[in-house]
């Protein structure tokens, strides 16, 4: 009765060997039926194929065509590194000894990425997401939904549910 979100994923149907975090159509359908959305992430190894901006847009197209524009968003997940990345990373507390890092629990992934893929999806190129959607013929209204409107809609709905439940 509340919208479900898969905030950082891709469409399993677009690759013969999808990433472990990619969602199959039946899961995307259940999310769409709940009123939620899937956020397409910009990680080349999740996107598969060419692992670049056009592939990212292919995942958005797939969700729009099969499940509707109200059920897809941009799920950026990570940002491109900058000259300050190492200094910022040092500010993050390290794991306690003996504690397993979450990435070690993921299945082994043989997908190879390259600098071109990573550069194509760098945060500095995020305006190109919108340009790509325009070039693919999306309306301004649909672009607004994809680049943040759907996220805001679901957040408002979740907050309304929470307010009604707590009486605040």
User: pLDDT tens across 109-162, in order?
Assistant: 677 777 777 667 677 777 889 999 999 999 999 999 999 999 999 999 988 866
When mean pLDDT is compared across 7-16, 17-26, 35-44, 153-162, the lowest value belongs to 153-162
Percent of the chain with pLDDT over 70: 77
For all residues of the chain together, what is the average pLDDT? 85
pLDDT of the residue at 48? 87
* pLDDT for position 63: 99
**Tokens read off for 150:** 């759907």
Query: What's the pLDDT score for residue 46?
Result: 86
- What pLDDT sits at residue 45? 83
Any residues with CB less than 8 A from the CB of 151 and at least 6 apart, and which?
Answer: 37, 39, 73
Are 78 and 88 in contact by the 8 Å Cβ rule? The answer is: no
- CA 73 to CA 59: how far, in whole Å? 10
Sheet with strand 5-9: strands edge to edge: 5-9, 37-40, 72-74
Residue pair 129/74 in contact by the 8 Å Cβ criterion: yes
Q: What is the pTM of this model?
A: 0.78
Instruction: Residue 57: name the closest of 65, 36, 123 by CA.
Output: 65
Domains belonging to the chain, first-starting first, are 5-80+117-166 (3.20.20.140)
Q: What is the largest distance, in Å, between two alpha-carbon atoms of the chain?
A: 52
């Amino acid at each position: 009765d509340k919208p479900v979100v898969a905030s950082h994923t891709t469409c399993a149907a677009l690759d013969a060997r999808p990433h472990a975090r990619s969602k199959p159509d039946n899961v995307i359908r259940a999310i769409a039926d709940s009123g939620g959305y899937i956020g397409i992430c910009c990680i080349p190894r999740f996107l598969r194929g060419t692992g670049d901006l056009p592939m990212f847009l292919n995942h958005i197209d797939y969700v729009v065509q099969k499940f509707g524009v109200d059920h897809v968003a941009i799920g950026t997940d990570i940002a491109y590194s900058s000259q300050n990345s190492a200094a910022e990373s040092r500010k993050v507390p390290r794991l306690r000894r003996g504690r397993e890092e979450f990435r070690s629990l993921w299945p082994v992934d043989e997908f190879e990425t390259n600098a071109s893929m990573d550069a194509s999806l760098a945060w500095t190129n995020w305006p190109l997401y919108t340009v790509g959607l325009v070039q693919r013929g999306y309306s301004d209204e649909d672009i607004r939904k994809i680049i943040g409107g759907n996220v805001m809609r679901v957040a408002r709905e979740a907050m309304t549910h929470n307010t009604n439940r707590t009486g605040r």
